[in-house]
Amino acid sequence: MRYETKTGPHEWAWSVENPEGDFAGATSGTLTAGGVGPLSTTALDKVPDVLGKYAYNGDRVRVAVAGVMRRLTLNNTGQAAINGFVGEASTTAGALAVQARVKTFGADALMLSVFGGPGVGRYGLNTAFTPNFQGTAAVVIGGKLEAVDQRGLNVGYLRYWTPEIRSTLSYGRVTADNPHPALPLNVLSKMESLYANVVWMPSKEYMFGAEWMRARVQNDVPAKGETDRLHLYGQYSF
């Protein structure tokens, strides 16, 4: 459920969303043999996620502030222990995010966004920090469900060389304070990427571009991995 309103340059939005137990140890099963589901068998979501956002739209700047509050509940009674714990445990999680876009010269723009908080989970990087890629908003430590701190940033610059040709250079990173041994050392704790592209739009129907990306990941072993990718693309809009 979502409500939005706007008054002059000011925008407000509030929403309540279906919760999802994206903590370490959350399991899922299907409702029927036909595959309807999935339904978590350890997450006991009692309260919806609550989100709020405010944005200011000026002539040359847009600034937005957003937040989310969550209540995560684990119940594995009658099931396998998670880090030695069997029973019900809950924790409160949430995060804040700030975004800004500032016009510099002509249509050029500087873009910045930061976020962080305990239990960001799927709202931060769409579940990227667990061994099975299901999200790590919280872990069981000492018989309690504890939220995992995550933070991230992204900064980019949009440059129009001509009305038809533009480029974007952007850098982003996300880090997590993974608690050990509740989470293995090989769980990703840092991800960062650098993008650079050039896009040519000779008309409204045609678009051609090239993009280079360098990405790097790291865990707490510590071990690192990186890759480079060149992407060429074309698009025709009917």
Give the residue-averaged pLDDT of 28-41.
51
Q: Which of 9-13, 20-24, 146-150, 184-188 has the highest mean pLDDT?
A: 9-13
At 22, is the pLDDT very low, low, confident or very high (cuts 50, 70, 90)?
confident
Residues 171, 193: Cα–Cα separation, whole Å:
6
Q: Residue 129 in contact with residue 153, Cβ under 8 Å?
A: no
CATH code of residue 182: 2.40.160
Has residue 129 got a pLDDT over 50? no
The tally of domains found in the chain comes to 1
At 184, is the pLDDT very low, low, confident or very high (cuts 50, 70, 90)?
confident
Has residue 159 got a pLDDT over 70? yes
Q: Which residue has the tokens 């350890």?
A: 42
Residue-level pLDDT at 96: 96
Give the structural domain span for 41: 2-236
Give strand pairing partners of 110: 102, 157
